[in-house]
Structure 1
Amino acid sequence: MAGIYIHIPFCKQACSYCNFYFLTRKELVEPFVDALIEEILSYRSHPFSEQIIKTIYVGGGTPSLLNHQQLKQIFDALRDVFDIDAEEVTLEMNPDDVSVEYLNGLQDLGVNRASMGVQSFDPALLLFMHRAHDPSEAEQALEMLRTANFPSFTADLIYGNPGQSLDQLDRDIDRLLSYNPSHVSAYSLTVEEGTRLGKQVELGRIDVPDDDIVAEHFDLVEKKLLKKGIKRYEVSNFAMPGKEAIHNSNYWRHVNYLGLGPSAHSLFWADNGACRWSNKKDIKLYLSKDWDQLIDEETTLDLVDLAEERLMLGLRTVEGISPGEMKSLYGYELTEKQLEWLIGQQKEGFILLDEDHIRLSAKGLKIADYLILDLISKR
């Protein structure tokens, strides 16, 4: 059982907060698709070709910049090389790219889940984020998903923006919920080094909201989504029961995954550990189709490495982690010091302990990264 992630590194323009690898050179799209197909074919004799592929996620960048024929070529190549029995096939898209015809074409290719990059319906915030769409395009795109009877979709929402009021956020959430999303990914605005936003903050041109304001924003998001039956299952992800993202959930559970395209990451289990590698962020090298040179770094992870990573990923989910599973899969047992720490955090209301599960409480999930690092350091 495995998943495939494909990185499409093209965007119309740079969003102010984004630090993903992307390009705006549309003339490279066609040669990129040719190279991507060659990379897919290069895995014909790799152990991944023997895996049953249960999920495919096409991300970026902006995959919806690719036309139907280009996407068909990619999916045909995937089916030629891999044993695909996909439960979930997701494609990220921007509101200004889609039409009902385009969405119907995606379904013909087997795409059954759309990831719509809404972020906000507020024109001033969209301008601040340097998004390519406007509020009306976002609403039209969500209506098109309904018209095309798309099986499932998720929408992205960003909160904690400079100057964003609770009333603005409240309106954003209400407008999104009017389209009955089954899944919402809600992210606090993060200032990343090397981005347009990062530079503005560094120069003192923008002040980001303090933690208390961001916490109020998050509480509003969670409260309003919960009223619609959309429950949090991971720090930043909310879903109707049964509509959780399978592909992303498999990342958190260390299911094998193959990354294709520049900057994509892969993980493959071997005896007593796993191998992780990534592709270089270099479109020129990628278009040269020199696959041996494309690998940026290859790391062997032993069971302790994997166990600690599983702790970090699993405790960010509402499901939490099972000490029994940690022992059986990784040979990892919590130390007396860690157990004492857990009991102390339970008394403080940050940790929930029951039978064979460790979870963070709603209070604990707000400071998940801090708590997880503290737990690991106690070993």
Structure 2
Amino acid sequence: MSGIYLHIPFCKQACSYCDFYFVTRTSEREHFVQRLIEDIESYRDSKFTDETVETIYFGGGTPSLLEPAQLEQIMEALYDIFDIDAREITLEMNPDDVSGQFLADLKSLGISRASMGVQSFEPELLEFMHRAHSSEEALQCLELLSASDFDSFTVDLIYGNPGQSVEQLKSDVKKLLAFDPPHISAYSLTIEPKTRLGKQVELGRIAPPEDDKVAKHFDIINQLFSSHGIERYEVSNYSMPGKEAIHNSNYWKHENYLGLGPGAHSFWWDDSAERWENEEDLRKYLRDEDQPEREVLSLKQLAEERLMMGLRTRKGVGIAELSERYDYVLSSRQLDYLENREQEDKLEVDERITLTDEGIKIADAIILDLVTLH
């Protein structure tokens, strides 16, 4: 079993770009923690406890809004119910929640990896994103992380913002690299329909960034990170050697995982492969009334997913793996397509299919074309 994901849905305020499930009423945190523990305990002696849990991930929302004592209760319940041999336990946090004592408390609970949502150090961009923290808080938090016992942490950056200049991007990256982060997740700003940003774009108040500008930002990030020994291993993820995220990497390889909390996804593949998603409704979750719908996935669906996820990574997808695990053989049309893209230096094909840096820029288009041609 690859891991357990726990969705902590509380946020101080709504970021303009975020379409993950969250609530800004934080008064129900204690009630939520107790319900989450009940949820964990409901898996006792089930088939889901037969496999060893290697990773635990607290995501959200903002998990750092929970008190260390509440996190300790959740951790105790997990270790009581599941067979855990953790290679990585990650907790997402926002800079305005962090103190030296908070980090020390997390470390004492066994949390081994911090995920810091910085996004930018530019005050005007933080305001545009409607982030709760300031540039000063972000820098102070990174100083605390660097001085802490966490030898594994990751920082989020967002590029391709409307109005974001090349100089601003380079400044953000240089400020971040000064702290020698072992891992960085750098995301191109995406416009999601139901978000605050999506509504502003729909109303014509904000123009989304042009593709050429986003591609230029991508090149700058790759160049600056690489010169610092931080290499891309997935479209949005970069790390120093050996510091790749284990939990997220296992999602891309169809390892089993359970998602706990409102809006969390689960995937389990034994005799058949199933995926389900908890309802995005905290009140229903607290009343134990959520009814997740389960989807049974065919081998073809799984193979297409593996192509979609694997081609976004540096390692790509093994042709033998597609055949042996998914009973998926590339068609003549797909092979012709791959040969043409290889001549354009968009990808490479030998025992594996891997996208080049140029191919990664249009990864979604290549993947869609490839899947459609089967």
State the TM bucket, normalised to the shorter chain. Answer: over 0.9
Write the deviation string for residues 302-355 of structure 1: whole angstroms up to 9, x where unpaired.
21111110010000001000011111111111111111111111111111112x
Please give the alpha-carbon distance, in whole angstroms, between the structure 2 residues aligned to 1:67 and 1:216.
41
1:361 is aligned, of 352, 356, 361, to: 356
> Aligned partner of 1:103: which letter?
L
Shift of 1:201: 0.7
Kindly tell me the number of residue pairs found equivalent between the two proteins.
374
Please give the alpha-carbon distance, in whole angstroms, between the structure 2 residues aligned to 1:155 and 1:260.
24
Please give the alpha-carbon distance, in whole angstroms, between the structure 2 residues aligned to 1:240 and 1:363.
22
For residue 298 of structure 1, what is the aligned residue in structure 2? 294
For residue 342 of structure 2, what is the aligned residue in structure 1? 346
Say yes or no: does 1:35 pair with 2:31.
Answer: no
For residue 119 of structure 1, what is the aligned residue in structure 2? 119
Please give the alpha-carbon distance, in whole angstroms, between the structure 2 residues aligned to 1:212 and 1:124.
22
Aligned-pair Cα RMSD in Å: 0.8
For residue 248 of structure 1, what is the aligned residue in structure 2? 248
For residue 203 of structure 2, what is the aligned residue in structure 1? 203
Say yes or no: does 1:165 pair with 2:165.
Answer: yes
Listed as ranges, the gaps of 5+ residues in structure 1 are none
Q: Percent identity?
A: 58
Say yes or no: does 1:321 pair with 2:317.
Answer: yes
1:372 is aligned, of 367, 370, 373, to: 367
For residue 309 of structure 1, what is the aligned residue in structure 2? 305
Please give the alpha-carbon distance, in whole angstroms, between the structure 1 residues aligned to 2:26 and 2:273.
36
Shift of 1:149: 2.2
Shift of 1:296: 2.7
For residue 278 of structure 1, what is the aligned residue in structure 2? 277
> Aligned partner of 1:329: which letter?
R
For residue 222 of structure 2, what is the aligned residue in structure 1? 222
Please give the alpha-carbon distance, in whole angstroms, between the structure 1 residues aligned to 2:45 and 2:94.
35
Say yes or no: does 1:87 pair with 2:76.
Answer: no
The secondary structure found in structure 2 opposite 1:326 is: helix
Please give the alpha-carbon distance, in whole angstroms, between the structure 2 residues aligned to 1:149 and 1:143.
12
Write the deviation string for residues 196-236 of structure 1: whole angstroms up to 9, x where unpaired.
10111111111121000111111111100000000000000
> Aligned partner of 2:306: which letter?
R
Shift of 1:45: 2.7
For residue 57 of structure 2, what is the aligned residue in structure 1? 57
Write the deviation string for residues 126-156 of structure 1: whole angstroms up to 9, x where unpaired.
0000000000100010111122121211000
Please give the alpha-carbon distance, in whole angstroms, between the structure 1 residues aligned to 2:45 and 2:321.
32
Residues 327, 333 of structure 1: 8 Å contact kept: yes
> Aligned partner of 1:289: which letter?
D
Please give the alpha-carbon distance, in whole angstroms, between the structure 2 residues aligned to 1:265 and 1:200.
29
Please give the alpha-carbon distance, in whole angstroms, between the structure 1 residues aligned to 2:295 and 2:33.
28
Write the deviation string for residues 77-114 of structure 1: whole angstroms up to 9, x where unpaired.
00010000010000000000011111011111111110
Please give the alpha-carbon distance, in whole angstroms, between the structure 1 residues aligned to 2:196 and 2:246.
32
The secondary structure found in structure 2 opposite 1:155 is: strand
The secondary structure found in structure 1 opposite 2:29 is: helix
Say yes or no: does 1:237 pair with 2:237.
Answer: yes
Residues 116, 155 of structure 1: 8 Å contact kept: yes
> Aligned partner of 2:82: which letter?
F
Please give the alpha-carbon distance, in whole angstroms, between the structure 2 residues aligned to 1:15 and 1:102.
23
For residue 3 of structure 2, what is the aligned residue in structure 1? 3
2:329 is aligned, of 330, 333, 341, to: 333
TM superposition outliers: structure 1 runs of 4+ over 6 Å: none
> Aligned partner of 1:171: which letter?
S
TM normalised by structure 1 equals 0.98
